Chain A
């Protein structure tokens, strides 16, 4: 991966002949700015559908970064799973269930300022951290990305056929990934069942007594009393702040 000074240099020294353009850096710059820019746009946008769209762009650009880094498999997965799957689902979901409180989400100004400050602080911290590691600032020598899915596939059945990275610690334990691969299938099954359960309408019209009991809201007098120590519960949407 190219380092930032090179990119800066490429930016400053313009115009340049096409042959002199470091295409790798250019694409990195492109994907990175798309990814970051639309990530900011997701946060800044008020409309859910727009947010979803910006997110698709941001994640798609991230897939491009993976390709640039030589991780073709990861890039493909990123495209298929996030861009192709999750986000399309989200967009459809949002469009189908679009309701007034969700279409426009507005945080309070104070929240935005605070979140901005905190976010910038965190970003500064992470940047500082990331650039403080010397090996991360220069390309690791001798790492040749192998554009093949074989090592990945083999490691998913538990056998590591790829060579360990040069300079990696000797005591590196390199297990195959059969267990996660298998166990995640159980997990996905469970999660699907859960999703189906939440999506399914309850067939019985009259709930049983117990469920009524469980859904009893506190009587008014208690609710008033509750205001002593209990944090206020906002009615309305969970996400929509500042609404009465």
Chain B
């Protein structure tokens, strides 16, 4: 560590998986069934480097904090490595007096607490999932392809969180999307898989469009795309969008209409990638891909890119309270609706998919509070969620593997006797997801509820009351208590359009969001344990598809998965069990994240609260979870999973839930059908008009009759003639111009 500069190490984190991917592509055929070796070695080495970097970063933050004890201001910690200047076009002469922005796009990687945390999560969970995949993907004809794509994904994802400018983020935003697309459609011969891949691709385009426009607007507004402060080749310094200079400047961020537009576009992008309303429809279908890919990409890492983006651009959002509130509204609504849909799903992976959407909604809700507590809670939940959701997916994959590809919970049951390791680890994961103390999800969910509660009932969280962000102005510490952010106050602060949105920012809104989240917690516990009970309890039943495992243990048709699959499960189970308690009790993660430059903006940093365990919220949350589990137990514990379901009590609601609130149908009616119509029209136009035009152009001579009949006839004298005519036409055009 001392010898190798951390900039080199930082480059190694994405580089090693990339090398792994390239080697897998190059040697895939040669390696055959050992094609996983380059990928796993690359990701493992990358994980080791990431952990090293994390420890270095922790030490640095600790040093910085102890040095800044007196000032009470948390010092931002960041390290930026510029690999090369992708573009460096200085604008020496600014026209018209205004400073035209120089076009400077460095390929720069950054390391700060947020990035370090995410790098570790991505590489470590990625490593475990990759090891698991050795067993899961065994014998698949696309074995090398899988590991090449997997490695490529780890590369893209690490680059995404390490990139230090918006353009680079956009590039890798697309890259992870491409990996995701290719992995969803991994079994492209299956029509559902191909369709799901297409759907994911199309829905994500909407979000990507948001990011592209947001990037453009950021460029227009701030004159740079870099996160960090940069110095141009001619010596002038450009404050980065999230660099320390701008962060320290209380009026550094644009509010009003433009700021809100940027934030809403970023939110749109985040909604696409993180499957939030209304762009959530692709994620459940994405489960057609191989389960390890679902575990890593569609549960643990890629779908959290939206969370990362909003957390990273926190100061931009805090300057636009309306947009910020909308983040929470979107999040909490998504959480509730996805949880409702999850309660009636019978496909184990789809239950988990809706659960993922729901949990991501939680994180959004937390981010939207705009407080330091909210941001760190979201990242905290991101970390714990990565562990337990990967665990649950891998557990589901293990079930699926044993059941010969069957994943419908009604077709099997009582598997705890057949596959005990999977059952126990799955249970641990479920407890964590349901938020049962002392498993990981309990603590992170508690923090999220606390952050929402602090906005809904500001009085009870007196210490940081005055610093609730408002109207695009960061409150300086020590200013008097702000009663509430009235629409009038914010109209003074922001532009018209911004303030209309800002009207959302009411304590009543936050209270509603809090209650929604609490209900969601209960629902989460319910559908999780419904799945657990349906799968692992009741009489043991195994579908006939589990045939190829017929020689399994104890004469049963199915058996436990091989150790290469169960060991990652056990590791993840341990992490799911203890990580929450460990990270919460030491309060390590929150303190660590507070040193992320984005969170040291005065508008965010001043909302810091002393670490408190909110007993009241913990009890409410636990009660909700307990209620959910009890209901699930009443309905499903020990019963045949294909028997009559308790959903019948829901009446018409069941139809609503089972049809996923008709989102797909609504989209089909509102967007797909009109689009199909347009597409048909376009096809007709293509066939008759474009083809006709092309034919016309190719046969323009024909169309113009005898005049220039065979324009490209192969006859050179006609070419000469056409040339002379062209010249005369130009003369005519010039004469006409001179006349007119």
Question: Do any beta carbons of A and B sit within 8 angstroms of each other in the complex?
Answer: yes
**What 1/0 flags go to A9-29 for Cβ under 8 Å of B?**
000000000000000000000
* Docked CA distance A107–B720 (Å): 14
Query: Is there an interface contact between B713 and A232, defined as CB atoms closer than 8 Å?
Result: yes
Q: How far is the CA of A40 from the CA of B227 in the complex (A)?
A: 74
Inter-chain contacts of B714 with A (CB < 8 A): 231-234, 238
Query: Which of B698, B714, B728 has the most A CB atoms < 10 Å from its CB?
Result: B714
How far does the Cβ of A237 sit from chain B's closest Cβ, in whole Å? Answer: 9
Residue in contact with B698 in the complex, picked from A110, A118, A125, A230, CB distance below 8 Å: A230
Closest to A229 in B: B698
Q: Mark B191-226, 1 if CB is under 8 A from A, else 0.
A: 000000000000000000000000000000000000
B710 touches A231 (CB 8 A): yes
CA distance A238 to B718 in the complex (A): 10
Chain B, Cβ-Cβ closest to A113: B706
Contacts A229-B694, A230-B698 given; indicate if A238 touches B731 (C-beta within 8 A). Answer: no
Q: Are A232 and B725 in contact (CB under 8 A)?
A: no
* B698–A121 CB distance below 8 A: no
In the assembled complex, the Cα of A107 lies from the Cα of B628 at a distance in Å of 92
Pair A238/B715 contact, Cβ less than 8 Å: yes
Main secondary structure of the interface of A (DSSP, over half): loop
Closest to B701 in A: A231
Complex CA distance for A136 and B694, rounded to whole angstroms: 49
A241 to B715, CA, bound (A): 7
Contact for B713 among A118, A231, A239, CB less than 8 A: A231
Q: Is B670 close to A, CB under 8 A?
A: no
Question: Does chain B have a CB within 8 A of A111?
Answer: yes
Residues in A neighbouring B694, C-beta threshold 8 A? 229
Chain A interface residue number, banded: 20 to 34
Q: Which secondary structure dominates chain B's binding surface?
A: helix
Known: A110-B706, A114-B707, A232-B710. A241 touches B717 (CB 8 A): yes
Decide yes or no whether B712 CB sits under 8 A from chain A.
Answer: yes
Interchain CB contact under 8 A, B724 and A241: no
Question: Which chain B residue lies CB-closest to A233?
Answer: B714
Contacts of B707 in A (CB 8 A): 114
A211-244: CB near B (< 8 Å → 1, else 0) gives 0000000000000000011111110001101000
Q: Is B681 an interface residue (CB 8 A)?
A: no
Q: B725: which of A111, A118, A230 is its contact (CB, 8 Å)?
A: A118
- B59 to A: closest C-beta gap in Å: 65
Question: Quick one: closest A residue to B727, CB to CB?
Answer: A122
Chain A, 111-126, CB within 8 A of any chain B CB: 111, 114-115, 118-119, 121-122, 125
Q: Is the CB of A234 within 8 A of B713?
A: yes
* A61–B694 alpha-carbon span in the complex (Å): 49
Q: Which residue of A lies closest to B731 (CB)?
A: A125
Cβ-defined partner of B728 (8 Å) among A110, A121, A241: A121
Task: Kindly supply a per-residue 1/0 record for chain B positions 693-714, scoring 1 wherever the CB is within 8 Å of any chain A CB and 0 otherwise.
Answer: 0110010000000110111111
Q: Which chain A residues (60-90) contact chain B, with CB distance < 8 Å? A: none
**Distance from A10 Cβ to chain B, minimum over Cβ atoms (Å):** 34
Q: Which of B695, B713, B724 contacts A228 (CB under 8 A)? A: B695
**Residue B721 at the chain A interface, CB threshold 8 Å:** yes
**Chain A residue at smallest Cβ distance from B711:** A231
Name A86-143 residues within 8 Å CB distance of B.
Answer: 107, 110-111, 114-115, 118-119, 121-122, 125
User: What's the tally of chain B residues with a CB closer than 8 Å to chain A?
Assistant: 21
Q: Give A228 to B697 CA distance when docked, in angstroms.
A: 11
Partner of B718, one of A122, A125, A229, A241: A241
Asked if B716 CB lies within 8 Å of chain A CBs, one says yes
Q: How far is the CA of A228 from the CA of B702 in the complex (A)?
A: 13
Q: Are A229 and B717 in contact (CB under 8 A)?
A: no
Contacts of B727 in A (CB 8 A): 122
Known: A111-B718, A234-B713. A118 touches B731 (CB 8 A): no
The reply to whether A115 and B713 form a contact with Cβ atoms under 8 Å apart is: no
Residue interface bits B671-701, CB-to-A below 8 A is 1, else 0 = 0000000000000000000000011001000
Complex: how many Å from CA A107 to CA B715?
Answer: 10
Q: Which residues of A145-200 have CB atoms within 8 Å of chain B's CB atoms?
A: none
Q: How far is the CB of B670 from chain A (nearest CB, A)?
A: 38
Determine the chain A residues whose CB is within 8 A of the CB of B711 once the complex forms. Answer: 231
A118 to B710, Cβ gap below 8 A?
A: no
A239 touches B695 (CB 8 A): no
The CA of A228 and the CA of B727, in the complex, are separated in Å by 29
Partner among B695, B709, B717 whose Cβ is within 8 Å of the Cβ of A107:
B717
Q: Which residues on B sit within 8 Å (CB–CB) of A125?
A: 728, 731
- Give the distance in Å from the alpha carbon of A111 to the alpha carbon of B709 in the complex: 10
B residues in contact with A118, CB < 8 Å: 721, 724-725, 728
- Contacts A114-B707, A121-B728, A231-B710 hold; do A239 and B716 have CB atoms under 8 A apart? yes
With a CB–CB cut-off of 8 A, which chain A residues contact B728? 118, 121-122, 125
User: Which single residue of chain A is at the shortest CB-CB distance from B691?
Assistant: A228
Minimum C-beta distance from B695 to chain A (A): 7
Residues of chain B with a CB closer than 8 A to A110's CB: 706, 709
Give A238's nearest chain B residue, CB to CB. B716
CA gap between A187 and B717 in the complex, in Å:
27
- A95 smallest CB distance to B (angstroms): 23
CA–CA, A230 and B706, complex, Å: 19
List chain B residues, Cβ under 8 A from A229: 694-695, 698
Residue contact B721 to A111, C-beta cutoff 8 Å? yes
User: Which residues, 616 to 637 on B, are CB-close (under 8 Å) to A?
Assistant: none
Nearest CB in chain A: distance from B739 CB, A: 16
CB B259 to nearest CB in A, in angstroms, measures 51
Nearest CB of chain A from residue B693's CB, rounded to whole Å:
11
Interface residues of B in 647-682 (CB under 8 A from A): none
Chain B residues near A234 (CB-CB < 8 A): 710, 713-715
Which chain B residues lie closer than 8 Å to A233 at the CB level? 714
Q: How far is the CB of A236 from chain B (nearest CB, A)?
A: 10
| Chain A residues with CB below 8 A from B706, complex form | 110, 114
B731 touches A231 (CB 8 A): no
Are B713 and A111 closer than 8 Å at their CB atoms?
no
Given the complex of chains A and B, what is the CA–CA distance between A238 and B713 in angstroms? 10
B499 CB to closest chain A CB (Å) equals 57
Contacts of A111 in B (CB 8 A): 717-718, 721
Give every chain B residue within 8 A of A114 (Cβ-Cβ). 706-707, 721
Shortest beta-carbon distance, B707 to chain A, in Å? Answer: 7
Given A125-B731, A228-B695, A231-B710, A115 and B715 contact (CB-CB distance below 8 Å)? no
Q: Whole-angstrom distance between the alpha carbons of A125 and B735 in the complex?
A: 12
Which residues does chain A contribute within 8 Å of B731, judged by CB atoms? Answer: 125
- Whether B721 contacts A115 by the Cβ 8 Å rule is yes
B255: min CB distance to chain A, Å: 55
Please state if A231 and B715 are interface contacts (CB–CB under 8 Å).
no
The answer for the CA separation of A115 and B719 in the assembled complex, in Å, is: 11
Alpha-carbon distance A232/B711, docked complex (angstroms) = 10
Which chain B positions have C-beta within 8 A of A119?
724
A residues less than 8 Å from B724 (CB atoms): 118-119, 122
A195 to B369, CA, bound (A): 82
A-chain residues with CB within 8 Å of residue B713 when the two chains form the complex: 231-232, 234
Q: Which of B148-177 contact A (CB under 8 A)?
A: none
Known A-B contacts: A118-B725, A118-B728, A238-B716. Give 10 more (CB < 8 A). A110-B706, A111-B717, A119-B724, A122-B724, A228-B695, A229-B695, A231-B710, A231-B714, A238-B714, A239-B716
Q: Give 7 pairs: A residue, B residue, CB < 8 Å, sorted on A.
A: A114-B706, A114-B707, A115-B721, A118-B724, A125-B728, A229-B694, A231-B712
Q: Which 4 A-B pairs have the closest CB atoms?
A: A231-B712, A229-B698, A234-B714, A233-B714
